[in-house]
Homo-oligomer: A and B are copies of this chain.
Amino acid sequence: MFGVTVRDHMMIAHSLRGDVFGPAQRLHGATYVVDATFRRAELDGDNIVVDIGLAARELGGIPAGLSYRNLDDEPAFAGTNTTTEVLARVIADRLAERVHAGALGEGARELAEIAVTLHESHIAWASYERAL
């Protein structure tokens, strides 16, 4: 199995609902350093997993659409606890949509999996992986 990973980041405000979150129930914020990994069993005719330029552009577009925002005010997240885990899934799912739409190139349609990791600090991170 081959994989290629590209890194970007986003800076958001949000609050979390539920006693389990303790002080993170207050409005606060986070920088998420976002790693998106694309995997497939065999390389394409150019010997690549995916066009890394397109991958970086598409990954960049997703955090850019979330960054510098208060997620509590985003209709897309109404009623949703925007935990690091959820945001990893949102980014993976949006990337999957972009793959299926052809935005990462025709060869990318043979990708097998996407994994997204969000680093919220030097001591904590979360990830989500899914098939394509």
- Tell me the A residues contacting B by CB distance below 8 Å: 1-9, 11-14, 18, 20-24, 26-33, 43, 46-49, 51-53, 56, 67-70, 80-86, 88-89, 105, 120-129
Contact = CB atoms under 8 A, between A and B. Distances in A.
Contact of A81 (B12, B13, B47): B47
Given A1-B128, A28-B11, A46 B83 contact: yes
Given A13-B28, A29-B14, A29-B28, A124 B5 contact: yes
Nearest to A31: B31
A51 to B, nearest CB: 5
A11 B29 contact: yes
Q: How many copies does the complex hold?
A: 6
Contacts of A18: 46
Contacts of A123: 6-9, 56, 122
Contacts of A89: 2
Contact of A70 (B2, B6, B13, B85): B13
Contacts of A1: 128-129
B124 A26 contact: no
